Chains A and B, each alone.
Chain A
């Protein structure tokens, strides 16, 4: 009995027991459903073992949407608790756990897989490649992310959620103040999915540098590919810092080392520095691909080529450099002194310059364009003013002297949601709507899509703008309640209404997918939006080999040129195509990672060691394996092309 005691929840509540039952029921339903419909073989062959970048992208997409709802449930609980003064919905401990998991889930397990989804779906198509450079490594990246996410998500029903904030500052996150295993989950789950992210970074950089179609120089790449390239460079340089920080945090908690403790020489501020040396570039890892998506969408629906291509690239390069030079602005009040704070104030404000350049480029792209107000374009147009407000309040926060007033208040919460929701979330939803037909073969309903946009935009403004005011008035973040005499009540109620509208908005997305699946026509062709870049040049649905013949590139908008200026995109005869084989090893190896991670969380050393040995055996087997892939023959290509509606 004592052995099982450790898996109990330290702060149980009816909601958590209900979740346990729900998780059990859903799991049983999935197993029974798969068995009843005899889909286990299909699942294994087509999805669990796939190395196809398009299917991996779709799995990233589904996981991200799932996690969006997990994180969103946390958000609505927080807003409900704060809607009225001295509410009793959540106690302090639950509130701590919920704002912690909300942050981690939304950044690491929602936004990251969302951008990885688009990178996987789009980058090989935009550069005219068959797949990524290392398809099997790509599958491993996904499954490491997936099992990392699952490990993190079981924390609230097995052993207790982390409760030290998504930043998990020490000494709060140390053993003295975080006594449950929750923070172990934080350290290890993020570590596992972080390894996956790093591998994606390496994979994408190699793909983009070496696998572009003939004629596509770096400065002829579509803008999303440029943004993905720079984001992945940031990933490769930022994630190892997190790896080390998490390793040290893990050994502090499990082996009693003194990196971040307050005794024996430990330095708690070292964690804060490492965390944000990764954490600030992480912000740009998320926002740059979002900028890339907006660039594609705005240019398509304005009917004009992207204004200032070179300055777009230059500004992203500059942002990527500056992103590593601003981390201290996350803790101006934590004792660096005036000189350090001033330097980091200046570097922080400097980021507004290249970002401003991009904003003007998008405006000039729309200038004199024939704008089509489709759903993706609405998100993009909504993004510009809303994101600019977030940027301006960011410059306010960058002033280190003034930051003493804003620090740790709702003002900060309003600012970063104001940057991330119109910046990243809107971009992901715009991209989802824009690219949906390419990968699923039907369009999402425009009417429902527009109501989603308005619900989310109005909900967003109502939810977060009041926080600027209560924050300046002194409402602290991460505090589970407030007294009536503070006067924060009415504005927090407005926030709750906004959050509820956003929740309805997100539900309409699911409704839209269901409705469109039932009702949308399937004969939409391969280019339903009259788009400009290469990913639209191949068939819908995209054949497994992407392009039957290598496209010949002449500009950054080759596909547009081929439609309007008579550029010949595909030349020559079909040739045999070499493709990689499927493999179950990435899935199995990541599942073993999950076992290892779980054992580390609970300090169960025997299974931990066995699982680690299992991981090394998988790596050893991979070393000895000879996998030369397979070939698609010319005849088969011809048949596929004919079946998909004519040769390309």
Chain B
């Protein structure tokens, strides 16, 4: 395998470069996936049937906690990648660890939020609005859950095998994924929660 030392570690082999481009294309598909979910949500948000309206069930506190936690995790994974470029393995692992803990915290609050909806009578089956809401949030949450496993696997591999071109590549791609989930959340926060509470 040819390693090009003029490039950052994560770009240093041909396969690494392919992986990164391929993942950007995948993120393009993910944008379409979430765009479709948002379209469904905006179409169905007002169609509450006999169930509650958005303003009746949304609570600002858990949503704000989730937002701060997830935005912070995007910052810490950025620091992690920065540490990786400096070749500081332990600092990178620490920041990745913090990122995943914040992700876990986000997921915990989101589960609380879903339980809250259930208690106030907004279940998956209640109306078109609740179905669209929970599918959109649930798809994002499922992505975060998958990311927790994925990130843990990468941490284990960096500990076991060190900062190899392959591991740096995986970590970098994971950071792209994590930032993307953050961007999606900003849209969820602005156009689902804030708009719904107005």
Alpha-carbon distance between A157 and B145 when the two chains are bound, in angstroms: 38
Q: Is B127 an interface residue (CB 8 A)?
A: yes
The reply to whether the CB of A35 lies closer than 8 angstroms to some CB of chain B is no
Could you say which residues of chain A place their CB within 8 Å of the CB of B40? Answer: 244, 248, 259, 270, 274
Complex Cα–Cα for A162 and B157 (A): 46
- Once A133-B18, A259-B40, A266-B47 are accepted as A-B contacts, the answer to whether A202 and B128 lie under 8 Å apart by CB is no
Q: A263 an interface residue at 8 Å Cβ cutoff?
A: yes
- Chain A residues, CB < 8 A from B32: 236-238, 240-241
- Does A257 count as interface, using CB distance less than 8 angstroms? yes
Q: Is B51 part of the contact surface with A, judged by Cβ < 8 Å? A: yes
- The interface residues of chain B lying within 8 Å CB-to-CB of A512 are none
In the assembled complex, which residues on chain A have CB atoms less than 8 Å from the CB atom of B36? Answer: 240-241, 243-245, 274, 277
CB-CB contacts below 8 Å: B27-63 with A = 28-30, 32-33, 36-37, 40, 43-44, 47-51
Residue of B nearest to A578 (CB): B1
B 95-128 to A, binary, CB cutoff 8 A, 1 in contact else 0: 0000000000000000000000000000011111
Contact B21 A240 (CB under 8 A): no
> Knowing A240-B33, A263-B49, A264-B50 touch, does A258 contact B21 (C-beta < 8 A)?
no
Given contact pairs A244-B40, A247-B135, A578-B1, A134 touches B47 in the complex (Cβ within 8 A)? no
Among A50-58, A140-148, A205-213, the stretch in contact with B: A205-213
Query: Please, how many angstroms separate the alpha-carbon atoms of A382 and B148 in the complex?
Result: 56
Given contacts A247-B135, A259-B132, A265-B48, contact A134 B127 (CB under 8 A): no
Chain B residues with CB under 8 Å of A236's CB are: 25, 28-29, 32
Q: Which A residues from 238 to 287 make CB contacts under 8 A with B? A: 238-241, 243-245, 247-248, 251, 255-259, 261, 263-267, 270, 274, 277
Q: Which residues of chain A have C-beta atoms less than 8 A from B51's C-beta?
A: 264-265
A198 within 8 A of B: yes
Given known A-B contacts A133-B22, A206-B22, A624 and B28 have beta carbons under 8 A apart = no
- Contact A257 B29, CB 8 Å, known A244-B37, A274-B36: no
Q: Does B131 contact A (CB under 8 A)?
A: yes
> Using Cβ atoms and an 8 Å threshold, which residues of chain B touch A201?
25, 29
Q: Nearest-CB distance from B28 to chain A (Å)?
A: 6
Interface membership of A565, Cβ < 8 A:
no
Of chain B, the residue at the smallest CB distance from A132 is B18
Residues B153 and A258 in contact, CB atoms below 8 Å apart: no
In contact, A256 and B44 (Cβ under 8 angstroms): no
* Residues of chain B within 8 A of A626, CB atoms compared: 161, 166
Complex CA distance for A265 and B47, rounded to whole angstroms: 4
Output the least CB separation between A246 and chain B (Å).
11
Specify which of B21, B33, B47, B149 is in contact with A210 (CB 8 Å cutoff). B21
- Nearest chain B CB to A439's CB is how many angstroms away? 25
By beta carbon, the residue of chain B nearest A134 is B22
Q: Does A552 contact B (CB under 8 A)?
A: no
User: Which residues from A are CB-within-8-Å of B47?
Assistant: 265-267
What chain B residues lie within 8 Å of A623 (beta carbons)? 150, 153-154, 157, 170
A198 to B, closest residue via Cβ: B29
* Count of residues in A whose CB is under 8 Å from the partner chain: 44
Q: Is B18 within 8 A of A264, CB to CB?
A: no
Residues of A within 8 A of B135 (CB): 247-248, 251, 257
- Indicate whether A255 sits within 8 Å of B26 (C-beta atoms), given known contacts A240-B32, A265-B49, A623-B153: no
| Complex interface: chain B residues within 8 A of A198 (CB) | 29
Chain A residues within an 8 Å CB radius of B178: none
Given A258-B125, A258-B131, A274-B36, answer yes or no on A206-B25 (Cβ-Cβ < 8 Å): yes
CA distance A582 to B36 in the complex (A): 36
Interface digits, A402-439 against B, CB 8 Å rule (1 contact, 0 not)? 00000000000000000000000000000000000000
- Which chain A positions have C-beta within 8 A of B49? 258, 263-265
Q: From B124, B128, B150, give the contact of A267 (CB < 8 A).
A: B128
| Structural contact, B22 and A202, CB atoms closer than 8 A | yes
Decide if B177 is an interface residue (CB 8 Å cutoff): no
Contact residues in A for B156 (Cβ distance below 8 Å): 624
CA separation between A168 and B189, bound complex, in Å? 34
**A583 interface residue per 8 A CB criterion:** no
Q: How far apart are the CA atoms of A255 and B129 in the complex, in Å?
A: 15
Complex alpha-carbon distance, A210 and B15, angstroms: 10
Does A521 sit at the interface, judged by CB under 8 A?
no
Q: Is B90 an interface residue (CB 8 A)?
A: no
Residues in A lying within 8 Å of B, measured CB to CB: 133-134, 198, 201-203, 205-206, 209-211, 236-241, 243-245, 247-248, 251, 255-259, 261, 263-267, 270, 274, 277, 578, 616, 620, 623-624, 626, 628
14 sampled A-B residue pairs with Cβ under 8 A: A202-B26, A206-B25, A236-B25, A251-B131, A255-B124, A256-B125, A259-B132, A264-B50, A265-B44, A267-B47, A270-B43, A274-B40, A578-B1, A616-B149
Nearest first, the 8 A-B pairs at minimum CB distance are A265-B47, A264-B49, A265-B128, A240-B33, A240-B32, A257-B131, A265-B49, A244-B36
Q: Could you list 9 further interchain pairs (A-B, Cβ under 8 angstroms) beyond the known A240-B36, A264-B127, A623-B153?
A: A202-B29, A211-B18, A244-B36, A258-B125, A259-B44, A261-B128, A266-B44, A267-B128, A274-B40
